[in-house]
Amino acid sequence: MLKLSILSFLSEVSVVSLAIYLPYRAFQLGANSVTVGIIGGASSIVYMFMPFAMGRLADKFGAKNIFLLGSILLFFTSFSYFLLTSLDLIILMRVFEGVGWAMVWPPLEAMVSSEHSIMYRNLAKFNISWGLGAALAPTIGSIIERESSIRYTLLFASICMLIAFMLASTLNRTYLSIESHTNSVNRGKHSLFYSLYFTGMYGIAVNVITTFFPKYASLNSLTVAEWGSIISSLLLSRLIAFILAERIRHRVDVKNMFSLFSFISIAFPFTAIIASSNFLVLSISSVLTGFGIGIVYSAALNKVMIESSGGKGVAAGLFESSIGIGSFLGPLLAGIVATNNFWTFLLIPLITMVGGGLLGVTKRRSLSINSS
């Protein structure tokens, strides 16, 4: 599990670095808000459906093998961002990047979920590992940017994936699914799909904030170090949520986690609208939102991976595809609504979170986990 945790950490450092600093690099290259929205969501064009396909391949050919292919692809695509200045080519490479991530995350989740008796524990460790990478990535990126330039944060992301490739090659198992011939999702459990709204909500919230908030903060006189630390606070509090998620689950049960923490998540987009230049207020509200979406993510992952049958790669693929849908639609819609008034991009995660809270209340019983 240690190697899988390191792979999760490295992969998330890379994905967060690209999610934050590539759109900001695009603004430097002269992109408007719509173009940046396309760049922010382009990798999710394929990530809406590709994870499901890659999860099936992971069950059939081994999760390790699919992960190796994905990590080397991500090394090359990330390195290309360091070299490119054409916005059209960056958009094209973002599509290939989406393929790479589809070959990384479902196999990782399948490998982590391979031992059913300790699945809750392993999923918690997985979340903590990538959550730590996400929390550190903005700060590391801001240090690199201060000492060199935004471009070198993209080079750093490519190096992380090269290290991940080399480490994954030392895994002594291929992680073939012994149940790959069966359906990963029990078709009778329609309630399983309610949780996918929350993974879509998670994709919208994180991708919209990381894509547009740096520019929004800069327009409101916040420095790179300040907006980088705000995003870091959000991601660090998400990490704390991952650490505490199991304790919270034991106390309140999964079915009660969705509505409460969806409403808590509203804090940052709401305060960013009314206190756009107040660093202290934004930092505090980012902590609340990060914690809220972290608990919701943990509850949704447990629901999908535990309440499923058959190859875990397909279950992981379904989970990741729903995140991909949110990650694609969120920045695209945010870019469109922000054309006239830039602050309105915050309405997209805000409305989605309110919807999540209402769904959590109305479908509370259906969101419980019926098997372990």
- The C-alpha angle 318, 131, 229, rounded to 5 degrees, equals 125
Tokens of 143: 């240090």
Tokens of 255: 């079915």
Tokens of 306: 């535990």
Q: What is the pLDDT of residue 124?
A: 83
What are the C-alpha distances in Å from 270 to residues 27, 111, 146, 203, 283? 24, 38, 30, 18, 13
Which residue do the tokens 């396309």 mark? 38
Tokens of 40: 């922010």
Q: Are 34 and 134 in contact (CB under 8 A)?
A: no
- As for how many domains the chain has, the answer is 1
The CATH code of the domain that includes 42 is 1.20.1250.20
Encode the chain in three state secondary structure. CHHHHHHHHHHHHHHHHHHHHHHHHHHHCCCCHHHHHHHHHHHHHHHCCHHHHHHHHHHHHCHHHHHHHHHHHHHHHHHHHHHCCCHHHHHHHHHHHHHHHHCCHHHHHHHHCCCHHHHHHHHHHHHHHHHHHHHHHHHHHHHHHHHCCHHHHHHHHHHHHHHHHHHHCCCCCCCCCCCCCCCCCCCCCHHHHHHHHHHHHHHHHHHHHHHHHHHHHHHCCCCHHHHHHHHHHHHHHHHHHHHHHHHHHHHHCHHHHHHHHHHHCCHHHHHHHHCCCCHHHHHHHHHHHHHHHHHHHHHHHHHHHHCCCCCHHHHHHHHHHHHHHHHHHHHHHHHHHCCCCHHHHHHHHHHHHHHHHHHHHHCCCCCCCCCC
Segments forming the whole domain that contains residue 235: 2-178+186-362
> 38 in a domain, yes or no?
yes
CB atoms within 10 A of CB 300: 26
Q: Are 144 and 23 in contact (CB under 8 A)?
A: no
> 344 in a domain, yes or no?
yes
Q: What is the pLDDT of residue 349?
A: 94
With a cut of 70, list the residues of the chain below it in pLDDT.
115-117, 176-192, 307-311, 370-372
> 372 in a domain, yes or no?
no
Q: What is the pLDDT of residue 156?
A: 94
Q: pTM value?
A: 0.77
What are the C-alpha distances in Å from 96 to residues 19, 50, 55, 61, 139? 14, 11, 17, 21, 26
> 120 in a domain, yes or no?
yes
> 349 in a domain, yes or no?
yes
> 341 in a domain, yes or no?
yes
Give the model confidence (pLDDT) of 193-234 as tens digits.
788 899 999 989 988 988 888 889 888 888 888 888 888 888
> 22 in a domain, yes or no?
yes
Distance CA 251, CA 274 (A): 34
> 191 in a domain, yes or no?
yes
